[in-house]
Amino acid sequence: MWPEAFDPCPDITTSVSGVAPLVTHVERALGTPTASLHVGLGGCPWSCGRGGGGSGRVGTTLSGGWEDGWARGLMGLCPSSLLQILSNARLFLENLIKYGILVDPIQVVSLFLKDPYSWPALCLVIGELGAKEGLGWRRDRAGLLLHVVNLATILCFPAAVALLLESITPVGSVLALMVYTILFLKLFSYRDVNLWCRERRAKAKAAPAGKKANGGAAQHPVSYPDNLTYRDLYYFLFAPTLCYELNFPRSPRIRKRFLLRRLLEMLFLTQLQVGLIQQWMVPTIQNSMKPFKDMDYSRIIERLLKLAVPNHLIWLIFFYWFFHSCMNAVAELMQFGDREFYRDWWNSESVTYFWQNWNIPVHKWCLRHFYKPMLRRGSSKWVARTGVFFASAFFHEYLVSVPLHMFRLWAFTGMMAQIPLAWIVSRFFQGNYGNAAVWLTLIIGQPVAVLMYVHDYYVLNYEAPVAGA
């Protein structure tokens, strides 16, 4: 039913054979071919200053070969793909004829600058919680208590501000909560890795003289506790990863042309997403309110299918914008060598494979700090996997319900539904049928959640006040 979770410490390099087709296809559609692709080499996520491991490998740059990808993509453009392009073009032209041009970049500013309080102050509570060498048991307990209080504050403080301060817009709240959520995951990893290193150091001291616990001399310039500096902490907080290491792989220099391409992609794709949302999604969602109010199921299904096309297109553009353009731009600025932000999730033949490969930073964090620790504490694999999905469902609901000031649990239910869905797909669909089932859930599932939240938000904020008046 479930494939084995991959080991985060393999001594292998990352293949780009699966990444190239998607990047080539998307960039061909955007008209911006890529000359190089950064891929980090796999390695042990925490080295504690020992030899070997991931931090001893340097991320590489795989260049060239993209012209062949263009040729293969053009030769492989089948008639069904052409029909899909023409069909979507017809829908887009129909939208333009019916509504005219609705794109208004100035209107987007109102989502953030409704008033001066629309941007919550990101006063992050950052403390150096890695316990120092020589702390006793009592101080370790105090450090753990401070760590728990700090993490709880990171999640609860922005949520309280978003719920109590009415002048904060939902979009501003989402961005603020995302920053705090990333900070939560990073500090959790930071504390865990330093704890593991401290325990390893204590074992090394207790080992007999003349023997080395790690089997050899350290190959890296930084080892515990020399890493407990604000410079090291803040580099990790801004690095495009959620898993802390004492020695991250680094690239030798900043490539200005590569960085410029990523920045131009970020700018262009941001405008494209905003335009598609204003022109295509907003009218469709607005026209879906009456069928929901009348409970006209045939019209609801028609609106759902009509919304699925722009929603999925925007989701694909967002994936490329965030995981390829944004994260590579940040990595290039920080000379961060590990560029494995995603794998070939588009080839997924099971739901499990999709969740393991579409968001590598989050998957590695869950595997390293949640799944494997639960196994070490005696939990079964099924319980550990269910726990991972439960944690993911909580954060999905946290990032949606708090900004909207309503708790409907649609995101939570959708994430928990992935558990039985994964069993159904793996049990009854194999090969291409499994891949089709995964894509179908992506295309249909997301607009269902969007319509449910928009409908409830509309009823709560517009119909309810009118009825009360």
Closest by Cα among 45, 52, 59 to 7: 45
Please give the residue that has the higher pLDDT: either 20 or 53.
Answer: 20
What was the pLDDT predicted at 102?
A: 64
What was the pLDDT predicted at 11?
A: 33
Average pLDDT, the chain: 74
> If pLDDT is split at 50, 70 and 90, which confidence band does 161 have?
confident
Question: Do 157 and 122 meet the contact criterion of CB atoms below 8 Å apart?
Answer: no
* 3-state secondary structure string across the chain: CCCCCCCCCCCCCCCCCCHHHHHHHHHHHHCCCCCEEEECCCCCCCCCCCCCCHHHCCCEEEECCHHHHHHHHHHCCCHHHHHHHHHHHHHHHHHHHHHCCCCCHHHHHCCCCCCHHHCCCCCCCCCCCCCCCCCCHHHHHHHHHHHHHHHHHHHHHHHHHHHHCCCCCHHHHHHHHHHHHHHHHHHHHHHHHHHHHHHHHHHHHHCCCCCCCCCCCCCCCCCCCCCCCHHHHHHHHHCCCCCCCCCCCECCCCCHHHHHHHHHHHHHHHHHHHHHHHHHHHHHHHCCHHHHHHCCHHHHHHHHHHHHHHHHHHHHHHHHHHHHHHHHHHHHHCCECCCCCCCCHHHCCCHHHHHHHCCHHHHHHHHHHHHHHHHHCCCCHHHHHHHHHHHHHHHHHHHHHHHHCCCCCHHHHHHHCHHHHHHHHHHHCCCHHHHHHHHHHHHHHHHHHHHHHHHHHHHHHHHHHHHHC
Please give the residue that has the higher pLDDT: either 168 or 209.
Answer: 168
d(C-alpha 274, C-alpha 103), whole Å: 8
> If pLDDT is split at 50, 70 and 90, which confidence band does 128 have?
very low
Q: Say how many Å lie between the first and final Cα of the chain, rounded.
A: 54
What was the pLDDT predicted at 122?
A: 40
Q: Is pLDDT at 47 greater than 60 in this prediction? A: no
pLDDT, tens digit (0-9, with 9 covering 90-100), for 289-347: 777 777 778 888 888 888 888 888 899 999 999 999 999 999 999 999 899 999 999 99
> If pLDDT is split at 50, 70 and 90, which confidence band does 79 have?
low
Does pTM top 0.75 for this prediction? no
pLDDT, tens digit (0-9, with 9 covering 90-100), for 219-232: 457 888 888 888 88
Is 363 a catalytic site residue? no
What was the pLDDT predicted at 7?
A: 38
> If pLDDT is split at 50, 70 and 90, which confidence band does 436 have?
very high
Q: Is pLDDT at 91 greater than 70 in this prediction? A: no
Question: Do 213 and 203 meet the contact criterion of CB atoms below 8 Å apart?
Answer: yes
Please give the residue that has the higher pLDDT: either 115 or 191.
Answer: 191
d(C-alpha 278, C-alpha 103), whole Å: 6
Highest mean pLDDT among 20-34, 198-212, 270-284, 376-390: 376-390
Please give the residue that has the higher pLDDT: either 272 or 206.
Answer: 272
d(C-alpha 188, C-alpha 190), whole Å: 5
pLDDT (average), residues 32-50: 39
AA identity, residue 461: N
> If pLDDT is split at 50, 70 and 90, which confidence band does 88 have?
low
Catalytic residue among 25, 324, 396, 455: 396
User: Which sequence spans correspond to the domains of the chain?
Assistant: 108-203+222-248
Q: Is pLDDT at 359 greater than 90 in this prediction? A: yes
What is the sign of the dihedral through the CA atoms of 447, 83, 318 and 322? Answer: positive
Q: Is pLDDT at 39 greater than 80 in this prediction? A: no
Listed range (70-84, 144-158, 229-243, 311-325) with the worst mean pLDDT? 70-84
pLDDT, tens digit (0-9, with 9 covering 90-100), for 233-281: 889 999 999 999 999 999 999 999 999 999 999 999 988 888 888 887 8
